[in-house]
Amino acid sequence: MKLIARLILVMILTYFLSFYMPWWIVFVVTFLTGFIIHGSGINVFIGTFLGAGLVWMLYAWYLDYNTASILSQKVIQLFPFDDPMMLIITSGLVGGLCGGFGGLSGNSFRQLFLKKKQKSFYS
């Protein structure tokens, strides 16, 4: 349940804040999401990776579709592949990695403030 909540929160905040803030707002959003909605490390990474990656990939596809691939054809010349869809997937992967590591950092920062349980002799 926390995974879905984290995913939806990251998607909504990243989408709306990216209109007014720079591209790195995805780090701030996922850091705060990882800090507030805690979980295991892999769970936080997957939720924030998917949330940020899907937003970046869907928005790149939307821009590519509405501009009839004009910008994609210009940018694709910089990369070793010829398909504009690979550019969209690469954009989603970069956004996902930024989001995943931001969320993992927020979760790890939260761990600094938690009190460690002392192990019992009998456990």
**Mean pLDDT for the stretch of residues 85-105:** 93
Q: Reply yes or no on whether the pLDDT at 82 is more than 90.
A: no
pLDDT band at 118 (very low <50, low <70, confident <90, very high): confident
Mean pLDDT of the chain: 90
Residues of the chain above pLDDT 90, percent:
60
Q: Reply yes or no on whether the pLDDT at 110 is more than 70.
A: yes
**Mean pLDDT for the stretch of residues 23-46:** 92
Distance, in Å, from the CA atom of 63 to the CA atom of 58, rounded to the nearest integer, reads 9
Q: What is the pLDDT of residue 123?
A: 61
